[in-house]
Amino acid sequence: MTLRTLALAAALALSGPPVWAQSPATAPAAAPAAAHAGSFADNPIVYFVITDRFLDGNPANDHSYGRTREAKPADDVGTFHGGDLAGLTRKLKDGWFQDLGVNAIWITAPYEQAHGWVVGGNKEFKHYAYHGYFALDYTRLDQNMGTEDELRAFVAAAHAQGIRVLFDVVMNHPGYGDLRSLSEYVNQPKTDKKAGVLWAGWEQATLRDYHSYIDYNDPAWLQWWGPDWIRSGLRGYTEGGRDDLTMQLAYLPDFKTESPKPVDLPPLLQHKPDTHAKALPNATVRDYLVSWLTQWVRDYGIDGFRADTVKHVEPASWAALKAAGVQALADWKAAHPKEAIDNAPFWMTGEYWGQGIERNAIYDAGFDNMINFDFQDRAREAVGTSLDTAKVDRLYSDYAKVLAAPARHNVLSYLSSHDTALFDRSRLVDAGSVLLLAPGGVQIFYGDETARPPGYAPSGDKQQATRSDMNWDAVDSTVLSHWRTLGRFRARHVALARGVHAKLADAPYTFSRITADDRVVVALGAAAARKIVVGNVFPEGSTVRDAYTGATARVTGGAVALTPQTNGVVLLEAAP
């Protein structure tokens, strides 16, 4: 994350805001009211952001807990880069998310992470928990993310715009035992040569000798999470199993969320003076995690969760989390009626690796929605080097048959992901069309709307390349304008998400989506000044509006005559 220089700021004061801060030139001056937006659950437009890689709104928190950056990009790929909640709030106030039609922001887990680093890739980089997946204390906000007041300001700014806030949550595992955190909370007893599990001199550890400073056989490991809490294979702990529910994913310690045994606070939190964690009577590991995670909902009005690694936690734990989340959000809304967006219940989506669009038993564990792993590959095939509209129509038809109203479930489809790959950066205009016009819900991965380039890709962990810093100084204005126009159109029309899909013409490819109270017609690949078939979607003689250009036309003979925008996209809705 880099801030603009004073020279650039001075130039902007003379020339006006940069193109990425302006409304797109092709967008009409005014758009119709969101009369047919539908409920959030029916039409989620979720912006997924790795907070640390988005915008540095408060440089004072950049080096919390002694975290540092590295000089070379290859070495710096796994450090904290400075993005924080204050940066998100700034972009909310700038209208960045509203301009995209976004109605929810999913942020990486903001609670306190492992303080130090572990060995990343093939001993290639220092891997910090910038992504939120190495939890240390679920009850405290990570200082790199900001303060409690900054979290409240972020939620308030989002809610004021009708945008929900979703936390990424992890119930499968805490973080690794990193040197710095072990030195702070598992550092007993001390001798001349050792301090608990660490050998003297650990502060000088490098990528090559990191593990030589840790005594994995020392009984002091029992003062970490403790064998009642996790499987780890350490001395005195249970080994990880071989099934999805008991395995140690990526060698991380596995929470015993299925255990019925009441437990005390984990030892490391008993030794952590600033934790908010308190002993709960007769509470299991599951009870503690559910209590800790939903306290964020009760305290701050968090609207929903994205659940990580769903297949590695038993459904009963997810059901318990959802039930507690529903109650916690209801309590918060009762206490803060003027700050709530609406009366909709707590919402939950989940990452179950390989899940597609079909409804299956996992939804019954409390999920309103699931991440759709089918879309990325099918979109890649349809977009190709030139848009294959036959494949696009098959994709849309297949999805609408499953997801159109009155379907009882929904999905989030995506083009790019921190866990898979970035979509071809040269094809993000057509890809944006395919995503933002798709049935079901959609997830925008930060920087797909700006053509954010990939970062450095270590040989042992190439997915780090998907998590590069937001390209504020090199935004692709053509891509951004297109995504904004499509996103706002989608936000007005639940028919795109839940409507019955029908192809109306092959050339240009034209389709309709219709629900009981909303209807749209979309054309892709339309040439200049031509007729667009609308059939009987809009009444003969009625006036329709192309949301891409703002032009209006009268329906005559089941068609309208329009001059499309140069990229050939036509977005028809009833004129106000």
Q: What are the CA-CA distances from residue 535 to residues 504, 513, 520, 531, 532 (Å)?
A: 7, 12, 12, 12, 9
- Strand-pairing partners, residue 307, are 169, 350
Known catalytic membership, residue 573: no
CB 104 within 8 A of CB 163: yes
Which of 173, 191, 195, 167 lies closest to 183 in space, CA to CA? 195
Q: 250: Cβ–Cβ under 8 A, 6 or more apart, which residues?
A: none
Which secondary structure element, helix H or strand E, spans residue 209, and what is its range? none
Which of 56, 112, 303, 308 is labelled catalytic?
308
Known catalytic membership, residue 476: no
Rounded distance between C-alpha atoms, residue 447 and residue 66, angstroms: 29
Which of 351, 469, 518, 573 is labelled catalytic?
351
* Identity of the amino acid at 292: W
Question: What is the DSSP code (8-state) at residue 32?
Answer: -
DSSP letters, 168-199, are: EE--S------HHHHHHHS--SB-SSEETTEE
Which of 493, 496, 477 lies closest to 434 in space, CA to CA? 496
Taking residue 266's Cβ as centre, other Cβ atoms within 10 Å add up to 23
Q: What are the CA-CA distances from residue 345 to residues 2, 38, 269, 539, 567 (Å)?
A: 38, 15, 32, 37, 40
Q: Catalytic amino acids?
A: 308, 351
